[in-house]
Amino acid sequence: MDASLARAGMVDALRDAGRVCSAAVEEAFRAVPRHLFLPGLGLAEAYADEAVAVQFAGGVATSSASQPSMVAIMLEQLDVRPGQRVLEIGAGTGYNAALLARLVGPTGAVTSVDIDEDLIDRAAVHLASAGVDRVELVAGDGALGHAPGAPYDRIVLTVGSDDVRPEWLAQLAPGGRLLLPLAVRGSQLSTAFDLGPDGVLRSHSVRSCAFIRLRGAAASPDANTCLDGIGVALQVPADGPQPDAAAVAGALADPRGHRDCTVPLGSVDVWDGFGLWLALTEPGACRLLAVEPQTALPDDLLPLGAGSGTVGLVAAPGAVPGVAAVVLGGDDRAPLRVRASGPSGDALAERLLATLERWGAVERPGAPDWRFVAVPRGIDVDLPERAAVVDKRHCRLLADLPGRTIV
């Protein structure tokens, strides 16, 4: 297979799928040879629309080359212009930095920071092999940005973050754009924020994504609580009620029956469609994740084995134990059901189905329909009555659906 033909095929597919939209992003993809950033892979693998893990620690991936379609989506969100100064946090293989260098052109500047010096060294080799010499590579903690090169017109993270760091805001030029995979109550959303004159960030676009999380000063603790003896982990929002793990495990082991979902719901909707709605509108929202090949649950709540998961509601701390969760199957054509568990499971199941109906009534919004406002700590703004509020350490995140009622 010829490399130029493989690259052209990848770009044609991205354009036809609507991932590559602008002429500038298309030109960058056609100009930068991805296979040179993934030495050791065959051309078919290098130009496949797949993420490629490039570094591991303890059997867990700590860096990857992102899926080309996701790279394209984020570059379109970032809207880089010639002559701009761009800071990238998470150098990876150097491929994204090479695309950015093409977009800013000879009058712009790209700085790429990574916490791992080995990755920086390898990215330097890849960039040199591709003939890209206009990227400054910095070994450092991306949580701190890179103040010597500030201010930046664009700051982009290619790693997931739980928060909006004040260092990034301080280094962003007035009217600049910050793009990051932001954790929002269990979902990860590629969110493009524009910095307003009042110091507040307002989202321009939102897309679903899945990235390896930041390490270093901005590393977040594992949000999952393993439920002893059943091979399932519980995930609840950090800013919400924290239920008793033993009570949840006991409730899950006590199934009380199923109810059919009254609104069409596919497995994709469970995460960043209905799942995001549930997490932003219900204080008892939770996610259940299978962490063993086979769980010890008495039925098929998580039939797909390790790595599968679902969303639901869990009883408040101190209340009568119970869980209601969506039952996933392997066939999207089959209607999904809600499983009630524990003494208060039936009531929770009714509440979960009512929440599902509200989501359906506002036309089943997904991640791209939401708008977010990130208000840094220390700045006072009037909170819209209908907005959902997510409290983070460095900001308050306001979530809204323009033209639709949330609460």
Catalytic residue ranges = 64
| Rounded Cα gap, residues 167 and 217, in angstroms | 12
The residues, ordered by sequence, that sit 6+ positions from 332 with a Cβ below 8 Å of its Cβ are 266, 267, 268
β-strand partners of 22: none
Tell which residue, 173, 169, 153, 175, has the closest CA to residue 109: 153
Q: What's the distance, CA 375 to chain centroid?
A: 20
Dihedral (CA of 363, 280, 404, 76) sign? negative
Task: Check if the beta carbon of residue 132 is closer than 8 Å to that of residue 101.
Answer: yes
Distance of CA 86 to the CA centre of its chain: 21
User: Do you know the residue count of the chain?
Assistant: 407
Residue 108 Cα to chain centre, angstroms: 28
Residues 6+ apart with CB under 8 A from 400: 370, 371, 372, 373, 384, 386, 387, 388, 406
Please name every residue paired with 267 in a beta bridge, in sequence order, or none if there are none.
none
> Closest by alpha carbon to 104, among 86, 90, 124, 91?
86
Give the Cα separation of 366 and 398 in Å (integer): 16
DSSP of 260-311, one letter per residue? E-SS---HHHHHHTHHHHHHHH-TTEEEEEE-SSS---SS-SSTT-TT-EEE
Angle at 229 between CA 227 and CA 231, to 5 degrees: 65
Cα torsion angle, 23, 28, 33, 37, sign: negative
- Token digits for 284? 């008892």
- Categorise residue 308: left if φ over 0, alpha if ψ from -120 to 50, beta otherwise: beta
